[in-house]
Amino acid sequence: MKTIRITKIRNRITIYFSIIILALVLVITSSISFIFSQEIVKQYNNVTKEKIIVVSKMLNENLDSIRHDSYMIQNDKNVYEFMTKINSNKYDKAINDIEFSNALSQYCRWSNYIISIIPLTIDKKIVDPLYSRYPYNKLIYENKELDNFIESGYSNKFSLPNTFPLNYTNPDYEKKTTITYFSRYLDKKNYTPIGYLMLNIKKKNLFKNIDTYCEGVFDSTFIVDRNGNLIYKVGAIPYNNALLEKVNNDKIKINNKTYIEFNSVIESYPDWRIIGLISLESLTKNLNIIRNLVYFIGIFSIIIVIFISHRTSRKITDPIYDITKAMNMFERGHWPHKLESKTEDELKYLVNSFNRMVTSIKNLIEQIYREEEENKKLEVESMKTQLDLLQSQINPHFIHNTLNTINYLAMKNNQVEIREMIQSFNMLLRQSISTNKKLITIKEELKCVENYLNIQKYRYGDIVKLIYTIPKELETCLIPKLILQPLIENSLYHGIVPKSFSGTIRVDILPQKDFINIRVIDDGIGISKHKVNHEGSNGISLTNVSERLRLYFGSEYKLNIYSKSGIGTCIEFNIPYIY
């Protein structure tokens, strides 16, 4: 798979900064959101458990009050005498029934919970004359929970909610308004049962003080027995033990909706326990709002960073792009317009230096043209002077400072490719602007060729492969400097590039008896006579190169060009041995 390369510095700076900030923002926001959510859930769980415990304690107090009332009734002297006489058949029903009922009625008036007290003999006969009548006697005698209590041997027990003193067929939860407290009445001498007491309690009175407390904390609250039968509920969530789906230790599902379950056994009556349900959706709703707010801040920060990094990168790269466009225009043979600097830093110095360089080159070329007009009679000497001027037209001080500035920006932005291109360009220019020697070794000239192709690689990629053949002993032979580079440039621009796919340039340097034979061969599209005389990007045509050879070594040394369309081009010349 081909890797996509981002060639523009501006885009790379924007993308790199954005990726770094994006990663930091994601890590920070995710960490904050996770830690904050965990802490809120933890605190919420702690508060809710405390609420359950408080509700449980409230119920403990209510149930203990009922037990206390039952204890007071059982220890009432008059009631005890009545129950003892009834059990020993010494009870005068006509005289004592009303007195007995009145004594029990006093406890109903004093108690906050009890609405009626029904005494029964050991053989389950109703003592109270009111409740021994129909339909009350039927509700009591057919009470299966009373039978279960008597058979169980328990000293006391709370019943499930019932409809007493009313009788309904298949009553719903709302109609079951009464809870009965069963207790055994014992003989104080031998602790044998002498009867039973049924204390009927209004369900809403027993649980009234927990409604408001639970509504502020739980979506619904249930009080159930060991078998999961519903005793009391607060809230609108329907309760059906058969439809409950246990998800895990602290979560259940009701009607496909998940709830977090908090429960606690009522200490004073372990047969009952309290269950508080909180919708998982409502619990996480606020957490999601906080989390979304954190992510929104993170995304907004990323947008701001992208905008700022893009603006910053443009301030850095726009002057470089302007210089690049101007260089391309200059390469095509047109004078670029004067560039304007919009910053007060090293880039301003770079732009001003480029402007001065273009002005100097333009003035220099104009001066050369004037001198050519004035010295037509001295054509050979004028051409030599022109060559010298062309090689020295770039101010070394300017080139040094300009390259240092670009190199500094490349190091600052970690641009390895730009640094490599600058180094190659620097080495190539060092040879072209040196005026102390006109001849260099073949090895040095080949190094200039390599530097030139290394620069072109960043424009065209790996479109050309360079192969050269040279015996070791010829590497130190001298050759006019920059004599091969125009030939390589010609093969690249007019032979390889138009192919639209990669090609090969081969340089063969072969020893002959009296001279060295040099050939530059490419497998490009071939060149026409017009292109042979056309100037390359550096302003040096093949005709110019041939004229340089004639000036240095004589009229017998010149270029020979062989080209065939679709196959390639061979450029050949000879130079004498010079050590």
- 254's enclosing H/E stretch is strand 251-254
Q: Which amino acid is at 179?
A: I
> Mean pLDDT in runs of 10 for the chain (579 residues)?
58 71 73 70 74 85 88 85 75 59 81 87 83 81 88 90 87 90 88 89 86 81 89 84 64 80 86 85 69 74 75 72 75 73 68 78 79 62 49 47 62 66 63 67 90 82 90 92 88 88 92 93 83 51 82 87 90 92
Q: What is the pLDDT of residue 477?
A: 93
Answer whether 487's CB lies under 8 Å from 505's CB.
no
Judging by beta carbons within 10 Å of its beta carbon (0-12, 13-18, 19+), is residue 436 exposed, middle or buried? exposed
The CATH number corresponding to 10-314 among 3.40.50.880, 1.10.3720.10, 3.30.450.20, 3.30.360.10 equals 3.30.450.20
- 506's enclosing H/E stretch is strand 503-511
Q: What is the pLDDT of residue 392?
A: 43
Hey, what are 172's tokens?
Answer: 């719903």
C-beta neighbour count of 521 within 10 angstroms: 19
Hey, what are 156's tokens?
Answer: 């006391």
Instruction: Provide the 8-state DSSP code for 214.
Output: H
| CA-to-CA separations, 500 to 307, 441, 459, 493, in angstroms, rounded | 38, 34, 13, 11
* pTM, 2 dp: 0.47
Phi, psi of 247 (to 5 degrees): -85, -55
How is the beta sheet containing 178-186 ordered, strand by strand? 114-121, 193-202, 178-186, 156-158
Q: Is the peptide bond before 135 cis (omega within 30 degrees of 0)?
A: yes
Same fold flag, 10-314 and 439-579: no
Q: What is the pLDDT of residue 391?
A: 47
Q: What is the CA radius of gyration of the chain?
A: 53
| CA-to-CA separations, 162 to 177, 206, 443, in angstroms, rounded | 6, 14, 112
Q: Collapse the DSSP code of 540 into the 3-class scheme (helix H, G, I; strand E, B; otherwise coil) and give the result.
A: coil
Q: Collapse the DSSP code of 177 into the 3-class scheme (helix H, G, I; strand E, B; otherwise coil) and give the result.
A: coil
Collect all residues with Cβ–Cβ distance below 8 Å to 389 and sequence separation of at least 6: 364, 368
Hey, what are 333's tokens?
Answer: 């043979």
Torsion of CA 387, 391, 393, 397, to 10 degrees: -160
Answer whether 573's CB lies under 8 Å from 518's CB.
yes
Cα separation, 467 vs 521, whole angstroms: 10
CATH superfamily of 439-579: Histidine kinase-like ATPase, C-terminal domain (3.30.565.10)
| CA-to-CA separations, 460 to 202, 226, 299, 338, 463, in angstroms, rounded | 95, 84, 39, 28, 6
3-state helix, strand, coil in the chain (%, to 5): 55, 20, 25
C-beta neighbour count of 119 within 10 angstroms: 22
Instruction: Give the domain ranges of the chain.
Output: 10-314, 338-436, 439-579
